Chains A and B, each alone.
Chain A
Amino acid sequence: MTLAILRAAFLLLLRDRGALLMALVVPVVFFMIFAEIFATAAGDQLQLRIAIVDEVKSDESTRLLAALTAEPAIRPVPGALTRESARDLVRRGTADVGLIIRADGEDLATAAGLAAPPLLLLVDPSRSVTATVLSGQLQRAYFTALPDLAVGRVAELIGTAFTTFTPEQQAEIAAGLKDLRNRAGTEQPAGWTFDELVERDNVAGQNAALNNVAYYAGAVAFMFLLFAAAQSALGILDDQEAGILDRIAAGPGGIDVVINGRFLFIVLQGLVQTCLIFGVAWLAYGVDLPGNLGPWAMISVSSAVLAAGLGLLLVTGCQTRAQAQVLPTVVILIMSAIGGSMVPRFFMPHWLQQLGWATPNTWALEAYSGVFWRSEPALQLVPICFSLFGIGIAALGLSHWLGRRLVRD
């Protein structure tokens, strides 16, 4: 008897494509996506897009950059850049981190920590891990490409710390120590580390420390905006099953009022949801919501419009309620994973980052990043917001067309 139930359950699963998809296909797809992401993030495949500017163009700087860009983890952003354009690329997220070999710093060959370091990293604090990775790669390239400089510095250090010096040398050292004592506390201690060559510069807005909170507020808000939209859109199919849709469609408004009414509801619901998440981010974590209210509202409205249109499209495109329960969930989960709602996109391999642009999650997150990380002016966000809004309205139009199928002739 137990086997009979087993057989029935097996046959039912085979007949239910949605359940089959959720049970067997979706887990594998998810595994593959996250394997790609975390194999990259945790392994040695992380690829950084770096905005490189060589202001010095010396023999040493050329050798250093040649060795650095030969590393598989480094992918220079193409084109001739200036310090300002590199800074802009990092701020916009086009580059993960910037590297300037600067003309206004010490010489790469002779830097002694007495002036500005020769290497300047342009860092977005929300992606500070990229600067750490670049520092490691830079250090490796330095010792590979410029061993003469590196050994010379080490020899100098050993000569200072471990050899026996002549009386003349000891007198000089004593004088030097006296001089160092006089300057104690005003300069770095003697010795040399690679970090002396590198300085970090934050390219983000004033609330850089809160960038991660703002990122996840946007990421979570948009993902749940999509889930809530799809869930609410399912109500149309409930109404269809109950016969309410037929009744309303027979009235003067037809099916259009159902789709439009549901759309407005989902947009409002999405706005409330986004307000709550960012409200908590503001009150509990100090994200500067009041200071960015206008741009934030612009993004949130266009995101809510997109989510509502997409939710309706996904649901009205399904043939059955069972299908409509599974398909939107699968699509939203995959979009969220690829689009950066679950894991920041810079952790992903390049091809997956590019694929992310096919998801609205990436667009919305870029827009929120523009506000809370990069302090971009509202005008700069208009194209993304306009696109989100436009796609949402287009999806609404398609939902109207598909929705007519739901009404019985």
Chain B
Amino acid sequence: MRRRVGFVPQAIALWGHLPVRTNLEILGRLAGLDRDRIAAAVTDALAWSGLADRAAEPVATLSGGMQRRINIAAGTLHGPDLLLLDEPAVGLDPVSRQAIHRVLEGLRDRGMGLILTTHDLVEAEALADRVAVLAGGVVRAADTIPILVGRLFGADQEVLLMLAADPAPALRDCLRTTLFSPTNADRIWVGRLRGGLEQLAGLRSQLVAAGADIDELRVRQPGLHGVFVELTGQVPNE
């Protein structure tokens, strides 16, 4: 079973002072590869990760993005059917993050199943065929994003309300009756807009009349962000 699964930890789990190629050779052996197959697997991994020309350099001297790519390559040397990745692009700049995403898409195109944990909903939405929302150690929902959106929002749109001040009790009652839900931030509420955008002005007037000092009222097509907020009541950092 272990030979069919690959694992990419969140940390750069490599020997920083050893060259890239040596790291891959040792980790390939530890992943159960025969001596004969290691050289080919390492050459292949260096090629698709775009680091063939840096193979002789110590890992510690590479950029963060390159180290992340080698980190992923090290988990795939034995050609697993399934690859588990723990936040593979955490802490990277947008360009490096894109490079990691391309690497992951390349692996998926090779037929490798990927299970990826992330706090980045944009990343999950861009990469995932199916998502599972985990909160408090419990899987709240698991399916494709369109099905989750359809199940939670139907034809409604997602509304994000940001208040300039903490809401008074009367305003809280009003928000609840207008299908808003509280989040982990007291001034941020999420809700849904029924009947199209033309209903937005009426909703705004209703909230102002209830005493809301509105900082921002955002309407958007519901996606993974809305699903997450609906399921967990938490607004992720964007």
Contact = CB atoms under 8 A, between A and B. Distances in A.
B13 A242 contact: yes
A242 B16 CA distance: 9
A355 to B, nearest CB: 41
A247 B32 contact: no
Interface stretch (A57-65, A154-162, A250-258, A298-306): A250-258
Contacts of A246: 7, 9, 13
B42 interface: no
B2 A247 contact: no
Interface in A96-144: none
Contacts of B10: 243
Contacts of B2: 250-252
Contact of B7 (A242, A250, A257): A250
B104 to A, nearest CB: 18
A248 B74 CA distance: 11
A246 B3 CA distance: 15
Interface in B32-56: 32
A244 interface: yes
B18 to A, nearest CB: 11
Contact of A247 (B3, B13, B16): B13
B5 interface: yes
Contacts of A250: 2, 5, 7, 84
Contacts of B84: 250
B12 A251 contact: no
A257 B11 contact: no
Between A248, A251, A252, the greatest number of chain B beta carbons within 10 A of the residue's beta carbon is seen for: A251
Given A250-B2, A252-B2, A243 B30 contact: no
A242 B32 contact: no
B32 A243 contact: no
A243 B9 contact: yes
B14 interface: yes
Contacts of B75: 247
B31 A252 contact: yes
A252 B3 contact: yes
Residue of A244, A246, A257 with highest tally of chain B CB at under 10 A: A244
Contacts of A253: 30, 32
A257 B2 CA distance: 14
B36 to A, nearest CB: 17
A246 B16 CA distance: 16
B13 A257 contact: no
A248 B32 CA distance: 10
Interface residues of A, number: 11
Contacts of B14: 242, 244
B149 to A, nearest CB: 33
A255 to B, nearest CB: 11
A192 B15 CA distance: 76
Interface string B60-91: 00000000000000110000000010000000
B113 to A, nearest CB: 16
B27 interface: yes
A252 B32 contact: yes
Contacts of A244: 13-15
B132 to A, nearest CB: 19
B30 A248 contact: yes
A257 B30 contact: yes
Contacts of B9: 243, 246-247
Nearest to A258: B30
Q: Which of B13, B16, B84 has the most CB of A within 10 A?
A: B13
Interface in A180-224: none
A44 to B, nearest CB: 56
B19 to A, nearest CB: 16
A307 to B, nearest CB: 24
Given A247-B74, A251-B32, A242 B11 contact: yes
A246 B9 CA distance: 7
Contacts of A251: 2, 7, 30-32
A23 B203 CA distance: 68
B31 A243 contact: no
A250 B74 CA distance: 12
Contacts of B16: 242
Given A252-B32, A257-B30, A243 B12 contact: yes
21 contacts: A242-B14, A242-B15, A242-B16, A243-B10, A243-B11, A243-B13, A244-B13, A244-B14, A246-B7, A246-B9, A246-B13, A247-B8, A247-B13, A247-B74, A248-B30, A250-B2, A250-B5, A250-B84, A251-B31, A252-B31, A253-B30
Please provide the 6 A-B residue pairs with the shortest distance between their CB atoms, ordered closest to farther: A243-B11, A243-B13, A250-B7, A243-B9, A252-B32, A247-B13
Given A248-B30, A251-B32, 13 more contacts: A242-B12, A243-B10, A243-B11, A244-B14, A246-B9, A246-B13, A247-B7, A247-B8, A247-B9, A247-B74, A252-B3, A253-B32, A257-B30
